[in-house]
């Protein structure tokens, strides 16, 4: 399935390969849909494409996942990953794996804590 052209809202369409300078694959294959993106605040945005600048603006207040950024940009995830990889390479974005879910605490450990608290009270 081919990515659809993106409507710029100004009467024109931008094809995904134009946004990525003709590249179909990111420079790194470590980006997952739930990878968290954090924008660097000390690098200038001058010289970035409009899509990369918007991506930076989205990530500046905090962190977003790859899927969230793709949704906000209204771009296919594959195109978004190419843009993100470029920004990682230039130091504008830092990618972090998602925070793993907390492990379940064993019932026996919880019982021992409860017994200890009851003994003190």
Going by pLDDT thresholds of 50, 70 and 90, the confidence category of residue 11 is very low
Query: In this structure, is residue 21 part of a structural domain?
Result: yes
**How far apart, in whole angstroms, are the C-alpha atoms of residue 74 and residue 119?**
58
Domain of residue 37: give its range: 6-120
- The answer as to whether 59 is a domain residue is yes
pLDDT digits (tens, 9 = 90+) for 40-51: 988 888 888 888
pTM for this one? 0.67
Inside any domain, residue 67: yes
Q: Looking at 16-20, 68-72, 91-95, which range is the least confident one?
A: 16-20
Q: Is the pLDDT of residue 1 over 50?
A: no
Count up the domains in the chain and report the number.
1
Please check whether residue 49 lies inside any domain of the structure.
yes
pLDDT value at residue 81 = 92
**3-state SS of the chain?**
CCCCCEECCCCCEECHHHHCCCCCCCCCCCCCCCCEEEECCCCCCCCCCHHHHHHHHHHCCCEEEHHHHHHHHCCCHHHHHHHHHHHHHCCCEEEECCCCCCCCCCHHHHHHHHHHHHHHC
Q: Is residue 1 part of a domain?
A: no
């Amino acid at each position: 399935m081919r990515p659809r052209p993106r409507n710029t809202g100004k009467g024109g369409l931008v094809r995904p390969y134009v946004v990525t300078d003709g590249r179909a694959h990111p420079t790194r294959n470590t980006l997952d849909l739930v990878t968290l993106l954090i924008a660097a605040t000390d690098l200038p945005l001058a010289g970035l494409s409009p899509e990369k600048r918007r991506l930076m603006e989205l990530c500046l207040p905090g962190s977003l996942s790859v899927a969230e950024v793709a949704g906000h940009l209204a771009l296919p995830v594959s195109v978004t990953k190419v843009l993100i990889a470029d920004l990682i390479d230039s130091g504008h974005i830092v990618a972090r794996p998602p925070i793993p879910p907390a492990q379940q605490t064993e019932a026996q450990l919880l019982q021992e804590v409860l017994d200890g608290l009851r003994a003190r009270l």
